[in-house]
Amino acid sequence: MARWGMETAEPASFLSIRFALAAFVLLAIALIFPKLKTLPLDWTQVAHAAVAGVLLQAVYLGGVFAGVNQGIGAGLSSLIVGIQPVLTVVLAAVWLSEKLTWAKVIGIAMGFIGVALVTAEWGHVDGAISLQGIGFCVAALLGITIGTLYQKRFCQSLDLHINMIVQYVASVLFLLPFALIWESYTIDWTPKLIAVLVWLVFVLSIGAVFLLMWLIKMGEAGRVSTLFFLVPPVVAIEAWILFDEPLTLYVIIGTLLCIFGVAIVSGVFSKFQQSTTK
């Protein structure tokens, strides 16, 4: 979706439109439901949500899209951002006092090795390495990592719907200066762009992000972050199904390692053992 979007608009311009549309849709939903209209607003929480939104939405996605626009390929960008679960688990242990167990260490190690195997297969189609593009991807890594921890630490009492509206409005305000000053803000409104925006707004910015915020609210930030290990393997499988890209042995082994790593960190095996014992 990032590559298709970059065909018709520059990164900050494209994302500012995406976030504005997502905020508009969420605001319309809030106006329809009476309960959401009467929720009390804690402006301190609103400010925290704005900070989390800039980190999770504008910096993270802006960094990824800008990296893609600079020619960074899927393999390298995925590998850089794939460090996020490792970094989040370590920082969560320090900042949020989340317990760092051997199961977590083993799980995140397996997940990262799995991501490395999958993304290694994309290396031959990656573009030229750009230091600026790598910098954008590193910024994206720091944005999603710090944003996840910030969301968990400071944004737990604010209603998720209001939280997301604030995040997207703050992200638009953050990105607009970049779009207006350093980009042309020229949009080529093709049917492909409209289709991409529909998918990104409704499925990702509203559906997937809502689930992410809910998971962060209900569980440990470190455990939630390990789910991102599953992104490169799922993309590889989708590319095999939709675009007939080869599903190599490395991709299959990497996918299995990612799945087992996430299962270990999530405590799936320990829960299964407990249930069979009972």
Q: Which comes out higher in pLDDT, residue 116 or 277?
A: 116
Q: In angstroms, rounded to a whole number, what is the distance separating the alpha carbons of residues 266 and 208?
A: 19
Residue 129: what pLDDT? 63
86-101 pLDDT tens trace = 788 888 888 888 787 8
pLDDT tens, residue by residue, 55-64: 999 999 999 8
CA-CA-CA-CA torsion sign (87, 91, 92, 94): positive
What gap in Å lies between CA 195 and CA 8, rounded to an integer?
12
Position 277 confidence tier, pLDDT thresholds 50, 70, 90: low
Confidence label for 272 from pLDDT (cuts 50, 70 and 90): very low
Question: At residue 68, does pLDDT exceed 60?
Answer: yes
- Tally of structural domains, the chain: 1
pLDDT of 46 > 60? The answer is: yes
Is 48 a residue whose pLDDT tops 80? yes
pLDDT for residue 52: 95
**C-alpha angle 139/144/201, rounded to 5°?**
105
The residue ranking higher by pLDDT, 183 or 177, is 177
Name the more confident of 137 and 223: 137
Q: What is the mean pLDDT of residues 65-90?
A: 77
Helices (H), ranges, the chain: 2-6, 11-32, 34-37, 43-53, 60-69, 74-81, 84-95, 102-120, 131-154, 160-182, 191-198, 209-218, 221-225, 231-243, 249-266, 268-277
HSE value, Cβ hemisphere, 13 Å, CA-based, for 18: 33
Give 113-167 pLDDT, tens digit per residue: 888 887 776 655 455 567 788 899 899 999 999 999 999 889 888 888 889 999 9
Stated pTM of the model: 0.80
Q: What letter would DSSP give residue 229?
A: G
User: Who wins on pLDDT, 16 or 229?
Assistant: 16
Per the prediction, the chain carries an average pLDDT of: 82
Read off the pLDDT band of 75 (50, 70, 90).
low
Over residues 184-208, the mean pLDDT reads 88
Domain that holds residue 268: 2-277
pLDDT of 87: 82
Whether the per-residue pLDDT at 175 is higher than 90: the answer is yes
Q: Could you give the CA distance from residue 251 to residue 257 in angstroms, rounded to a whole number?
A: 10
